[in-house]
Amino acid sequence: MSEFRETIVDFGSGKVPKVAENLARMNPTSRVIALEKQGFSKRSKEKNLLKIIFSGEKDAVLPFAENSIDKIFATFIFGPTSFNEYRKWVFEFARVAKKNPEGNIFLCETALSKDNILRITNEIGLKNTYEYQGYPTGSEWAREFEDFAFNAKDIYLIPNVMVFSKG
């Protein structure tokens, strides 16, 4: 049996995986996995954080078994990818995520991406359990971003967080 109570993945962590570090710090009994294709620029102090460099762009396959991940966070990956590539990744998130009626696939993109994301998730059969703009005080996403200063004035830059669950 694993020493961790759940597994959380931060997909597209960035060279400085701030979200993954916050997730690891705030969930010390969880295994947090930071996935990034560009590598990482610093070491982490969090003992429960595992950093993985992957190159799954062509295949869009995550290195996890079906129904094995408790929560998946993906932040601002729609912009640098094509619609079809993003669609493949969301399919892959759905494959590896465990069933959770409250939602466990967290997609944080700009408000401009919302319609495309809903189109993709409806096609897959994911249920949109809740969503909000920005990082509302007290929300789960805000806790993960507690150290992140975001002062966007442009509506197109405001994060739109959408949380999905498998049917």
For position 138, which CATH number holds?
3.40.50.150
Tell me the per-residue pLDDT of 21-53, one tens digit each, with 9 for 90 and over.
Answer: 888 888 899 999 988 877 788 777 888 888 888
- Asked whether residue 1 is domain-assigned, the answer is no
Token pair in block for residue 108: 């944080």
The length of the chain, given as a count of residues: 167
Give percent of the chain with pLDDT exceeding 90: 30
139: Cα within 13 Å, side-chain hemisphere: 16
Check pLDDT > 80 for residue 137. Answer: no
Which pLDDT band holds residue 1 (cuts at 50, 70, 90)? Answer: very low
Minimum mean pLDDT among 1-5, 117-121, 132-136: which range?
132-136
Tell me the per-residue pLDDT of 3-22, one tens digit each, with 9 for 90 and over.
Answer: 888 999 988 877 778 888 88
Number of domains in the chain: 1
Angle formed at CA 70 by CA 69 and CA 74, multiple of 5 degrees:
80
Which pLDDT band holds residue 145 (cuts at 50, 70, 90)? Answer: low
**What residue numbers bound the domain in which 108 lies?**
6-166
Token pair in block for residue 161: 């967080």
Mean pLDDT on 148-159: 57
Separation of alpha carbons 50 and 6, rounded Å: 13
Torsion angles phi and psi, residue 115, rounded to 5: -60, -45
Token pair in block for residue 48: 């429960």
Check pLDDT > 90 for residue 91. Answer: yes
pTM: 0.81
Question: 3-class DSSP state for residue 63?
Answer: coil
